[in-house]
Chains A and B, each alone.
Chain A
């Protein structure tokens, strides 16, 4: 980072970003990124009831079971 960069909004932006778990950085490897993707996906599935219902129908499981499975995956 340049000296001029240190005090402007950009550095604060990066600081802000670093506070979120799923954010990445230049040294992130494939595995770590993939883990984040997986977790985000599961969280998203669990968070959207229609999607959960859709998966339940497709897998022929109860919605509760689906939710449980996804929670375990987190």
Chain B
């Protein structure tokens, strides 16, 4: 991608993020679908949202193209078209996962792959080694983090207060405020700024004053910031791209002093194995600065500090020896020369865009490099200048960054040796991967760079060699060709235990966190994990959390298959590691401060529950949901229940009561979020349990119904949702009572301006109304007036989701109250001035009328309705959706004969619109004719239809294919209804006009035209001269090429009709000629057509010509003939007995042909023949044919052997199993295995097909000394 574009996109993303973070403050994201709730995809649709997806897409496109007036079809094709433009080659372009992720999902990159943990099972009674992380350690860290978070929030709050005070007292001298800020500054973590320049405090103060979007001021919005920061114990490269998403503000203005520093340190970090998180970014670092003292010197030492726990730290790219050697990472090595903030990312993953950007920067750098002595000599005059000696203290470093990188400065880390500079390094060209390894992408170097160094292989220890082997295999899996991938995958699986869990996961998991990962690559790596898991089994325990960190994000991926894969892995993982380990691994995440972590953990837990059974998890869930320590834990626990309900659906029923009991207290929780999620969980449970399980919800009914009276806003919405799902479970009596209770609140909330609330209210009304116990009278008197007053307003039609919901709810109400009530209320609105509103009215009327018919509608309403519909139909301007058309059709069809008085007016409208300038209008008019043709016939308006027929006939010159297709469809409808004889224009005029249209290549035109022609050929062939039919035959041959199967089928059938009408000879000649064409599909369709002709005109009219054609010495023709025979015998079935003797010589010849396809096709002909004539006394011919088929049993080509086996099966049916068994016996114990195998295969299918029949036919076996093989019973004779 163009770096410019990338930059703009980046900026836009940043802005959106800011925007999103601002919005998320204002309403609860759990309920109101802010930026995070929207982004979830519930794998099992909880509500109707899922079905809205396509319409949403329409809507989006429609919105984007609002100003265009292209026809709908074009608009519809737009999204598809743009997709296809990507894959001109026919292949899907590889897609990076990160490109389609939203900010919320990108937070997965903020997570760190935690170091492995103590496995209590493996260790037994032993006290764990202090260096190993145990559950207690992790919990302590979490607690620490939470505390830190709290403190930071407090600080932020305090700061804000302070700032407000400052603003409140502007008369204070600025010096004071800067001093105050300076006093506050140490609390903040930007000591770097402070230490670097003395004015930093003032600057920081200024910043604090001006920037309203300071990090601390938005505690909720960017939680990822400090969550992301690896704590010393959990260092890892899990945050490689955090800086891409949110760049700290001090990154953007690097001071000179910092440039050097920032450059130097990462280099140092890069070479200290294990000490620095490879992908650590500057945003992340301030956290660490807590450890450092403000002087620059000490600062550096901070990097070198290796925290004690580091030894067990996560695997990361930086830790590999390869990433250390500059030679292996040529990209990074070169580009670090420019100290840009972007360069910092290099040790993290590098995206191709960054790569390009850096390459460009390097180019500039080359041009601006310091001049050499020679160049200066050439530039300056020889005399008048003197070269001064540099001062003694001067050390000539020209490009410090490069120097530093090339030979890393000794950092004083113990055990560290300066690596030899690799002379063989190539800077620009990626090194050819040795040993047949697949190509590496630039971003792969950090993971697989070590593989490029071949020379050291001899010196490696066995562990290193093992690592190397794993790396090689992984690279092959990731980037290799399919065969490479396959073998590598198999090796990884087979040797999984040999490699060990640690080395394997230390390699695989960071790869999965790579920001540039593509779908396919992720799929492959996940597959590796899955296979490896299976092999490792309980060895996986210490790595459970690591794996979860990587796999959990898959659970909220928008790709369905990714979600399924994620579930599969977690389910396998929990089976391998066991419940205790899973709980120990995930417990600390349950009250993590990051909402993202909690969300994914809840989902993962639900998968664990479904894998290990809900009962196993119940005690734990109970404890979590009652956690006193933090509301987060309770929230997550309840959310787990919700996710379980969503995931396993009706399988919750056995545990429903206990699940409800676990969460019920959450309805009265002090925390609003907990109350909300509890209500949502209850909704999910009720939905999963429907229509059973109301008794389990008894205990929550009271708090729910009490709650709706006391709550407001989003909590109320959640409560209403829960009620909406519970009411349908109730008995009629209770449902009625509870509905009346809740209706008061619902009606009050009808007026709510909140969109979300509106949707939920509508949904709940729908659910209540559709319940049995709710009476129509009650709805009419209590609900309808308010409902229509508040919801049936123009504004509702503008939002697509509201629109849908409103229509659905109204239709549901209509099901209870009847058509007249609803239609009577809205029919006037068909003449409303707002078109979207009219459309909504029309759609509702359409659905209501289709559901319930029109018998309720009285004369007055009928008049109004027709009037309104005509008005709406005529006034429509936008051409999206066929709502008006469908509505019109539905109403007219429902009214039936009652439409008669209005038909002249309708036809007038149609005629007028057929003449319209806009193609869309003409198309709709034609479509309308085909919808109402049947009703017109019912009303005995044949004359009118004839008139319309003539009008349509006149419009056959239409140039828009879509319109032409509709016109043909309308003609077809009319012809169907009034018949061939009464049709005007007469068929003999109509058909010649259609012949040229058959040439049209547009699918819709082709389909409608061939249908019409076929219908005429079927019913009214005699009205048209034979010559015209022959002409049509030739046109039809072309149509056999059509892409759409329906068209090909209609064409083939039409051949049959035509052949019937004009006799088979001519048609057959045409078809047989067509067998000579090259195109396979064309030939296949021709053979089918021949078979159909044979069927409709009896085989004897066709067979002679067909068999004669076999004499043409041309493979295609002969095969075509055989294929036709095969189809023919399939179609004619029993009739075949008269023809079997006639075709036997031909089949003999074909079965002896050298050409495989001949034998194959002949065998399938024999099969159909045998099946057709079974039991009709043709055994002699069949045995004869079997003798020709049998030698082919040793064929290896799959198609041939299939055909042969099927022919033998057919023979079994026709001749009986005994005869085929006798053929079989000769080879069952043949000395050659190859022969035996084939014969046993035949025997087996024989056995399965006719086991019982074989009993009488088994050979008599001689007894051996102890074994009696004879079957004396069969010898008995009375």
Contacts and interface: CB of A to CB of B under 8 A. Distances in A.
Given A22-B1251, A24-B1228, A28-B1240, A34 B1267 contact: yes
A8 B1198 contact: yes
Given A41-B1258, A44-B1252, A2 B1245 contact: no
B1247 interface: yes
Nearest to B1263: A34
A57 to B, nearest CB: 6
A30 B1228 CA distance: 10
A5 B1273 contact: no
Interface residues of B, number: 32
Interface string A12-55: 01101100101111101011011001101100110100000011
A58 B1240 contact: no
B1181 interface: no
Main secondary structure of the interface of A (DSSP, over half): helix
Contacts of B55: none
B1226 interface: no
A4 interface: yes
A72 interface: no
A54 B1274 CA distance: 10
Contacts of A31: 1264, 1267
A41 B1271 contact: yes
A41 B1255 contact: yes
Given A9-B1202, A40-B1255, A26 B1233 contact: yes
B91 interface: no
Contacts, number: 80
Contact of B1278 (A4, A20, A57): A57
B1243 interface: yes
Nearest to B1196: A2
A47 B1252 contact: yes
B491 to A, nearest CB: 19
Contacts of A45: 1273
Contact of A25 (B1240, B1258, B1269, B1273): B1240
Contacts of A5: 1196, 1198
A13 B1241 contact: yes
Contacts of A4: 1198
B726 to A, nearest CB: 47
Contacts of A8: 1198, 1202
Nearest to B1234: A26
Contacts of A2: 1196
A40 B1252 CA distance: 7
A57 B1254 CA distance: 24
Given A5-B1198, A44-B1252, A47-B1252, A38 B1271 contact: yes
A2 B1267 CA distance: 38
A20 B1251 CA distance: 11
B1247 A38 contact: no
A31 B1278 CA distance: 31
A17 B1248 contact: yes
Interface in B1093-1118: none
Contacts of B1198: 4-5, 8-10
Nearest to A8: B1198
Given A31-B1267, A58-B1276, A58-B1278, A20 B1228 contact: no
B1244 interface: yes
Contacts of A44: 1252, 1255
Contact of B1261 (A20, A22, A25, A34): A34
B1236 interface: yes
B1221 to A, nearest CB: 11
A23 B1277 contact: no
A10 B1273 contact: no
Nearest to A52: B1273
B1201 interface: yes
Contacts of A54: 1276, 1278
B1237 interface: yes
A33 B1252 CA distance: 16
B1276 A23 contact: no
Nearest to B1248: A20
Interface string B1193-1209: 00010100110010000
A54 B1277 CA distance: 9
B1241 A14 contact: yes
A41 B1256 CA distance: 8
B1273 A55 contact: yes
Nearest to A11: B1198
Contacts of A9: 1198, 1202
A17 B1252 contact: no
A17 B1244 contact: yes
Nearest to A31: B1267
Nearest to B1241: A14
Contacts of A14: 1241, 1244
B1237 A26 contact: yes
A40 B1257 CA distance: 12
A59 B1233 CA distance: 43
A10 B317 CA distance: 48
Contacts of A30: 1229, 1261
A47 B1243 CA distance: 22
A5 to B, nearest CB: 7
A26 B1238 CA distance: 8
B290 to A, nearest CB: 60
A30 B1201 CA distance: 27
Contacts of B1261: 30, 34, 37
Nearest to A54: B1278
Nearest to B1235: A26
A14 B1248 CA distance: 11
B1278 to A, nearest CB: 5
Nearest to B1232: A26
B1248 to A, nearest CB: 6
Given A2-B1196, A37-B1261, A59-B1276, A24 B1244 contact: yes
A32 to B, nearest CB: 11
Contacts of B1273: 41, 45, 55
Nearest to A14: B1241
Contacts of B1237: 25-26
A16 to B, nearest CB: 8
A59 B1196 CA distance: 50
B1210 to A, nearest CB: 16
A13 B1244 CA distance: 10
A24 B1201 contact: no
A14 B694 CA distance: 50
Contacts of A24: 1228, 1240, 1243-1244, 1247
Contacts of A59: 1276
B1257 to A, nearest CB: 10
B1223 to A, nearest CB: 16
Given A26-B1233, A55-B1273, A13 B1252 contact: no
B1245 A13 contact: yes
**Taking each of A34, A58, A59, which has the highest tally of chain B beta carbons within 10 Å of its own beta carbon?**
A34
A45 to B, nearest CB: 6
| Nearest 9 CB-CB pairings of A with B | A17-B1244, A26-B1236, A58-B1276, A23-B1244, A44-B1255, A8-B1198, A34-B1269, A26-B1237, A37-B1258
Given A8-B1202, A23-B1243, A25-B1240, 8 more contacts: A16-B1248, A17-B1241, A17-B1248, A23-B1247, A37-B1258, A37-B1269, A40-B1252, A59-B1276
27 contacts: A8-B1202, A9-B1202, A10-B1198, A13-B1205, A13-B1241, A13-B1245, A16-B1248, A17-B1244, A17-B1248, A20-B1244, A20-B1247, A22-B1251, A23-B1248, A26-B1233, A30-B1229, A37-B1269, A38-B1271, A40-B1255, A41-B1255, A41-B1258, A41-B1271, A41-B1274, A44-B1255, A45-B1273, A54-B1278, A58-B1276, A59-B1276
Interface of B: 1196, 1198, 1201-1202, 1205, 1228-1229, 1233, 1236-1237, 1240-1241, 1243-1245, 1247-1248, 1251-1252, 1254-1255, 1258, 1261, 1264, 1267, 1269, 1271, 1273-1274, 1276-1278
